[in-house]
Amino acid sequence: MESVLRRMSTNEALREAKRELRALIARKLDTVDPRSVQEQSRIVFKLLSQLPQYQQARRISVYLSMPTGEIDTVPIVEDAFKQGKQVFIPFTHKAVPATSSDEEPKPSIMDMVSLHSLEDYQGLKRNSWGIPTPTKRSLDTRKNCIEEVKAGDWAMAKDTTTISSRGTMRRQAESSHSQLASLYKSK
């Protein structure tokens, strides 16, 4: 393996390492007890919904979960829409396509794009990981909260609460990590 990696470009080696890591993660996720995931999902949602930061947020960013082996974020999306919040989700795409066949592929970038409604969310097609994903064609109709930051719209970006893949939150431009740490310790 090491000799093969030496012959590969850095990007090729990174892509190969990612493929191997994804395969390993997929195998490990297949062994997670679904009842444990359901219980952990319920606890995460209960804790999240009690946080003042979540209750006060008008906009949230949340990852959309895979069908198995991961905290289920469907209740979070449903509750956010029920509460009248605007919901943003990750969308990963190539930054700039390679201009020739011998050029190294450009890295992927992630944007946070809006969902229009619960029905919009429910209508998303699933990708190869089973994650609901918007189409590239739909991007023109979706807000991008990362673009708001780049454009200097800090008022809107500051009001977006992000729920990370570990189920924790952080408010952009206002850290709430210490509050979360004390909340988790007290439970």
Q: Is the model's pLDDT at 23 over the cut of 80?
A: yes
Element (H, E) at 94: strand 86-94
In this prediction, residue 6 carries a pLDDT of 57
User: Which of the pair, 45 or 15, is modelled with greater confidence?
Assistant: 45
Q: Is the model's pLDDT at 77 over the cut of 90?
A: yes
For the chain, where are the alpha helices, taking DSSP H only?
2-7, 10-29, 34-50, 52-56, 74-82, 118-122, 145-150, 154-158, 177-186
Q: What is the CATH number of domain 32-186?
A: 3.40.50.10420
DSSP label at residue 68? S
Element (H, E) at 111: strand 108-115
CA distance 18 to 35: 29
Sign of CA dihedral 107, 111, 116, 122: positive
- Number of other residues whose CB lies within 10 A of the CB of residue 145: 21
| Averaged confidence pLDDT in the chain | 78
User: Which of the pair, 38 or 22, is modelled with greater confidence?
Assistant: 38
Sketch the domain layout of the chain as residue ranges: 32-186
Query: b/e for 11-31, b at 16 or more Cβ within 10 A?
Result: eeeeeeeeeeeeeeeeeeeee
Calculate the CA 102 to chain-centre distance.
32
In tens, the pLDDT along 101-158 reads 666 666 778 889 999 999 999 999 999 889 999 998 999 999 998 877 766 655 555 5
Question: Per mean pLDDT, which range of 60-74, 86-100, 169-183 is the poorest?
Answer: 169-183
Ramachandran sector of residue 173 (left: φ over 0; alpha: ψ -120 to 50; beta: rest): left
* pTM attached to this predicted model: 0.68
User: Which of the pair, 59 or 11, is modelled with greater confidence?
Assistant: 59
